[in-house]
Amino acid sequence: MRWTLDKIDWDAFDPAKVDPRTLEAVKAAALVEANAPDYVSYLCSVFRDSAEIQEDIRQWGREEAQHGQVLAKWARLADPEFDFDSAFDRFRKIQDIETGAIDSVRGSRAGEMIARCVVESGTSSFYTAIKDATEEPCLRQIATYVAADEFAHYRLFYESFKKYQGELPSVFRRVLIAVSRINEADDDELSGAYYCANYSVTSDVPYVRKTFADAYQKRVLMLYRRQHTDRLVSMVAKAGGLKPQGTLVRMACAVAWRFFAFRQRQLIRTAV
């Protein structure tokens, strides 16, 4: 492990500098990160031909689980009424991962690694955005460590992808998988995590995927600045087989930032 919870200066926690909207996003992230063991089971099944990659996946899972632990601990400091265990149990009932799958849902092992690169691109940029936005000392330190881990995970999956890239020889197929994984951001994982983390079991508010997907996006997008979207797009583009510094990617960065800014304005008006 690159770090442990003991490395965090918990005594520096300052409740006066906790932003309530960021807290809501962090609570949701804690649930998602803690759900790593199911992904480990699934990925180890997909990459059953490589003991080395399986061990890398298990180590990735241990680090992801630690992210869930550290984010949950910070969230309980910020909100002592946050019941992580109860929220996590409810979340697992909403978010169902097919752990018994033998083959990748992406159609190939190369496609699976590209999808993982896309996820790590998103989490790396997300935690970097938190680090740059928050004034709370503990959360800034946590986000710094976690963002570095997520970038290391991206590199791990990208290097593993190279072993299977013959299964996806064309850039078009790589980009198609990357885009399809981005589109899955509207599935039950993020919206369900936000709902379970921020609405107790006694709440009379029903779970509606679209409502809480928008609510989660609203909290997350407010953290992003241009440098964060540029980083995100460049990392996804590299996984898709494009040159991160190429003209096409620079154009994509500009378009992505305009879209993020548009969604920020839209969600401020419409999301809960």
Domains of the chain with bracketed CATH: 17-270 (1.10.620.20)
Instruction: Report yes or no: 138 and 205 within 8 Å, Cβ to Cβ.
Output: no
pLDDT above 70 covers a percentage of the chain that reads 97
For position 212, what pLDDT does the model report? 95
- Using pLDDT thresholds of 50, 70 and 90, give the confidence band for residue 99: low
Q: Please say if the pLDDT value at position 246 is more than 80.
A: yes
Half-sphere exposure of 171 toward its Cβ, with a 13 Å CA cutoff? 6
Tokens describing residue 118? 């896309």
Q: Please say if the pLDDT value at position 163 is more than 80.
A: yes
Please, what is the average pLDDT of the chain? 93
Q: Please say if the pLDDT value at position 109 is more than 80.
A: yes
Helix (H) or strand (E) holding 141: helix 137-162
Distance CA 75, CA 187 (A): 24
How is residue 48 annotated by DSSP?
A: T
- Give the mean pLDDT of 158-187: 84
- Using pLDDT thresholds of 50, 70 and 90, give the confidence band for residue 77: very high
Q: Please say if the pLDDT value at position 188 is more than 90.
A: no
For position 98, what pLDDT does the model report? 63
Q: Please say if the pLDDT value at position 100 is more than 90.
A: no
- Give the mean pLDDT of 205-234: 95
Distance CA 47, CA 154 (A): 17
Distance CA 30, CA 77 (A): 13
- Mean pLDDT is lowest, of 20-24, 97-101, 198-202, 259-263, for 97-101
- Mean pLDDT is lowest, of 60-64, 100-104, 137-141, 160-164, for 100-104
Please classify residue 41 by burial: count the beta carbons closer than 10 Å to its beta carbon, then call 0-12 exposed, 13-18 middle and 19+ buried: middle
- Give the mean pLDDT of 194-221: 94
Q: Please say if the pLDDT value at position 213 is more than 90.
A: yes
* Secondary structure class of 194 (helix, strand, coil): helix
Instruction: Report yes or no: 73 and 139 within 8 Å, Cβ to Cβ.
Output: no
Task: Report helix, strand and coil shares of the chain as percent, to nearest 5.
Answer: 75, 0, 25
Instruction: Report yes or no: 88 and 23 within 8 Å, Cβ to Cβ.
Output: no
For position 96, what pLDDT does the model report? 66
